A and B are shown apart, each in its own frame.
Chain A
């Protein structure tokens, strides 16, 4: 127990790193994922093809492999990133974007055909129908799966420990090494830190769902 209490500041900084990494990666993922979903339902075969290729490749690659290429593969292409944190945001964001895309696409699929037909009937173009009619409705059905994507993202941020991002898991590894008698306590502390994030996110999700979800 003392191992945890003596190092609360370390846990806290790890916690903040996890949160900032997750939030930034989530912003990237949601933006890119929505665009990819739009690509996949668009009439343009090259865009639809790109969207499909992206999702299928990224979803089937382990995040650790992707993260490795972001950190050590990009320099081989002469692309240097400002920091390992940025590499982490990129890796996590690009990976999660594939899952966001699928969630949003299922939301688009769930909006009844009548809506899109009505939009076309009043003369809206493809982008206008998507932007003004379909996506707003799609997002309301898609909140729960997106919430799960967020929770998965927070947990996936733990991979950053192997790639120079000092988040909760890295802190736990450091403390476990320096307090060999208290290994279990150290990791329970880390588990609690993650649970704070995931359980509170789960609660927040339920509240948002109750307000926003459309019964199918």
Chain B
């Protein structure tokens, strides 16, 4: 083999790599693989009218001017934020709430760019402005309030326990977990709660709840514990295998995360939430999504701190 064919191979492969890199760069703007969602297309007519409503320099005005909003949500929570792989967009209650907020900005649902925010990265994403706000089964607590701010709450969940259908171990509450194995996600608040307050329960920790469900089905763990709505979503997909103990033992207020100190944006979102409670959009959003498998509750009072 002479020198020429090999350098030709190398030249072709590096050209191909460069071409792919170019393709990667150019498709970043509307990358379907990493942030399932659509490219932002500013809707010209509503821009000026909406921008006029918001104070200069506020986040809302900035968003309207950009014509697009980046929203962080979960992609793997049935009923709240679950990616529909056929449309490449997430669906669920959190998604609908985000759409209501964006609608109040004067933009449309097509202007939203959805980003998957898993539990570990919600704060860094908000802090660094990677997302404009996060609505992702995001429990409000004081540790998080040190680095970001919360609008809402827009829903009150509670930690609960899911067991195999028939409840073979007769678990009725967290105290019954002593001496059994319970599954949750590493780093989550429910896991931390069990570790601190119910140390006799043996914790098994995966990185996603779907693995916990799988483990429960195989009998590898005795129960799964997290927020009741998340459990209900899992049960809805496989009602014959699981059941909910239905004894919530904490209060998990779900809030909308925004940058620390952005009080204007926070008030705006709180206003939108309260309005949606009044005019029924909140209830509508619930019925269309999580309401399919969970009862419609009363909306919680927003906390303007």
Contact = CB atoms under 8 A, between A and B. Distances in A.
- The answer to A–B direct touch (Cβ < 8 A) is yes
Interface of A: 71-72, 75-76, 80, 84, 161-164, 166, 170, 173-174, 176-181, 183
B146 interface: yes
Q: 10 nearest interchain CB pairs?
A: A177-B187, A75-B218, A180-B123, A162-B207, A174-B187, A164-B204, A180-B147, A173-B187, A72-B214, A173-B186
Contacts of A183: 124
11 contacts: A71-B211, A71-B215, A75-B219, A84-B220, A164-B205, A164-B206, A164-B215, A170-B186, A174-B187, A177-B120, A180-B147
B270 to A, nearest CB: 22
Given A164-B205, A166-B205, A177 B188 contact: yes
- Most chain A Cβ neighbours within 10 Å, of B120, B183, B220: B220
Contact of B204 (A84, A179, A180): A84
B144 interface: yes
Contact of B207 (A84, A161, A176, A181): A161
A178 B206 contact: no
Interface residues of B, number: 25
Interface of B: 119-120, 123-124, 143-144, 146-148, 183, 186-188, 191-192, 204-207, 211, 214-215, 218-220
A72 B218 contact: yes
Contact of B120 (A75, A163, A173, A181): A173
B144 A180 contact: yes
A67 to B, nearest CB: 11
A47 B70 CA distance: 57
B220 A162 contact: no
Contacts, number: 60
A163 B206 contact: yes
Contacts of A164: 183, 204-206, 215
Nearest to B208: A162
A183 B124 CA distance: 8
Contacts of A166: 186, 205
Nearest to B206: A164
A179 B124 CA distance: 11
Given A72-B211, A163-B206, A180-B146, 11 more contacts: A80-B218, A80-B219, A162-B211, A173-B187, A174-B191, A176-B120, A177-B119, A179-B143, A180-B124, A180-B143, A180-B148
B186 A161 contact: yes
